[in-house]
Amino acid sequence: MNQKRPILGITMGDPGSIGPELSVKALLDPNCYLLCRPIIIGEAAIMAEAVSILGCSDIKINAISNVSEAKFSHGTIDVLDMDVITPEEVTIGKFTPENGEASFRYVEKAIQLALAGEVDATVTNALSKEAINLAGHQYAGHTEIYADLTNTKHYAMMLAHDDLRVIHVSTHVSLREACDLAKKERVLRVIHLADEACKALGIEKPRIAVAGLNPHSGEAGMFGKEEIDEIIPAIEAAKEAGLQVEGPVPPDTVFPKARGGWYDIVVAMYHDQGHIPLKMEGFVFNKSKQKWDDVSGINVTLGLPIIRVSVDHGTAMGKAYKGTASATSLINAIDYAALFAKHA
């Protein structure tokens, strides 16, 4: 039974952020250990601080230097101790080069372990793009780090909240550049990645919707010709390849349809087109209490030779080391990573 559960390498995230406490909160759930064998990649001393902040006196930290040393037992959190930064060197709630270097090194190690086959999938807590750039690592985020360190040229970002899923043609570029990137070859490649991702989750015949780029999907060329020149040809090519695809569906109606169960996944043309509806679903703000009741949803990088699933929120520096942040997104990410690993 133990050998059938996938080993997940979970990065601690920025050491000055909510990442350490979320890691503890997620692993407090015994169901996590029924799904997988988790290892935190980070700092044992900082994880011990997080345990103290949360008042979990019965939780033990098992500092290890190799995956083979892990106990994989609920009540004991296995931490691959990277020894990059000490608790005294961490600046809580701030974007610093020191924090950025540490969070980058955790991601780097997770990728190395996955490529070597020592872990079956990786899960990433949030890091700060500003901090890693201050540390000299010029990346726009996790997605680009994974692509570079795995030598992957063709990849895409998928977000998911329950059964609502979206994959992006472009992500971390300007809106002007995103319009230029909506080309037939790229749209077709992302449609195929969407199909493969759903099948990896156990969906035998994925129903894929492709969103238009322009209002009303261009209205037959009145509001833009990208649909006619690039997107529709990509959809037709996907259909010829045997995929179950519809579109281009107007962007303002495709997500209500997907939420209602019409589609298994939506191909979005750019970052905010896909992110906004997913976060409207997963991020629940309590106006009367002026607090977030829930922050759920996950982020997956598709097209990689390894599995990478992430939380779908940032570092939340204002909440760091207070023990109040929600671990729902991290728990969702662990569940998804275990499911991907199961079907790999």
Tens of pLDDT, residues 25-80? 999 999 999 999 999 999 999 999 999 999 998 999 999 999 999 999 999 999 99
Q: Mean pLDDT score of the chain, rounded to an integer?
A: 93
Tens digit of pLDDT for each residue in 156-195?
989 998 889 999 999 889 999 999 999 999 999 999 999 9
Mean pLDDT along residues 227-248: 97
CA angle, 267 as apex, 172 and 202 as ends, to 5°?
Answer: 115
| Domain extent at residue 57 | 2-152+304-343
Specify the number of domains making up the chain: 2
Q: Is residue 236 located within the same domain as residue 328?
A: no
What is the spatial distance between Cα 193 and Cα 217, in angstroms, rounded to a whole number? 22
Q: Is residue 232 located within the same domain as residue 323?
A: no
Q: Is residue 92 located within the same domain as residue 229?
A: no
- How much of the chain, in percent, has pLDDT values that exceed 70? 97
Mean pLDDT along residues 306-329: 92
Task: Write the CB contacts of 278 (distance below 8 Å, at least 6 apart in sequence).
Answer: 159, 160, 161, 164, 166, 297, 312
| 292: confidence class by pLDDT, cuts 50, 70, 90 | low
Q: Is residue 214 located within the same domain as residue 122?
A: no
Q: Is residue 229 part of a domain?
A: yes
Q: Is residue 72 located within the same domain as residue 197?
A: no
- Contacts of 285-294 with CB under 8 Å at 24 or more apart are 292/326, 293/326, 294/326, 294/328
